[in-house]
Amino acid sequence: MKNFLNLILLASALAWFGAANADEAAIKKALAGFMPDAPIDSIKPSELPGVSEVKIGANLFYISNDGKFFIQGQVFDVGAKKNITETKMSGVRKAELDKMGAEKMIVFKPENSKYSVSVFTDIDCGYCRKLHSEIEQYMAQGITVRYLFYPRAGKGSESYKKAIAVWCAEDRNKALTAAKKGETPDSKPCNHPIDSHMALGEDFGMNGTPMIVTEKGTLLPGYVPAAKLASILSKEQ
């Protein structure tokens, strides 16, 4: 009788183990039908029982281990009062910006750099212009500003064309400052990363400019004054 009960417990444990662990083949098959053009970067166990975490580009999604249910949203640890998804997304954003590389950005760097931020900007956006008009204040706070372009009017717009012209200028920093003041950049066409900037902004959930991303990958939507930004960054160290 005792052996029989042990067999029942073992069978139950194995059944639970199978349900709790991901069927990666089923997940990939489900995603291929649900999101056919989405390249899957990774499938990992999530903090939710019976649910896996899927990374696609700069986004995180959740799917049941049998591939039947897909979840788009954020997961919170109620007890710890912690946004698990956002914490992980910060790391994803940092990795994606590192992959992009500073050589594909326009960088304003002070002599004594303490912090670094990446800023998605639109040449014709009012608050983007305000931020850049204070670039010396940011650098005085020891903040390196790495610009990526996100013309809100979209590809082919005047803002998009200005971004390309700035990138293709002989002195990009000087051309960007001039463009932010309303001057029309003058340069020859060249290979540029503007489309890559825009795609990354979309992946980051861009809904306005400027959008600041800290070294840790934290999003700060909108204009943030230099002193306040320095205070925020000092707390991330």
Q: What are phi and psi of 109, to 5 degrees?
A: -120, 125
Which amino acid is it at 211? M
Give the span between the Cα atoms of 180 and 132, in whole angstroms: 7
List 122, 124, 129, 146, catalytic entry: 122
List 93, 124, 128, 146, catalytic entry: 128
128 has catalytic annotation: yes
125 has catalytic annotation: yes
List 93, 129, 146, 152, catalytic entry: 152
CA-wise closest residue to 212 among 86, 116, 129 = 116
Which helix (H) or strand (E) segment is 5 a member of? Answer: helix 2-20
203 has catalytic annotation: no
Per DSSP, the residues of 69-103 read -EE-S--EETTTTEEHHHHHHHHHHHHHHHHH-GG
List 93, 124, 125, 146, catalytic entry: 125
Give the span between the Cα atoms of 187 and 65, in whole angstroms: 53
190 has catalytic annotation: no
Q: Which residues are catalytic?
A: 122, 125, 128, 152
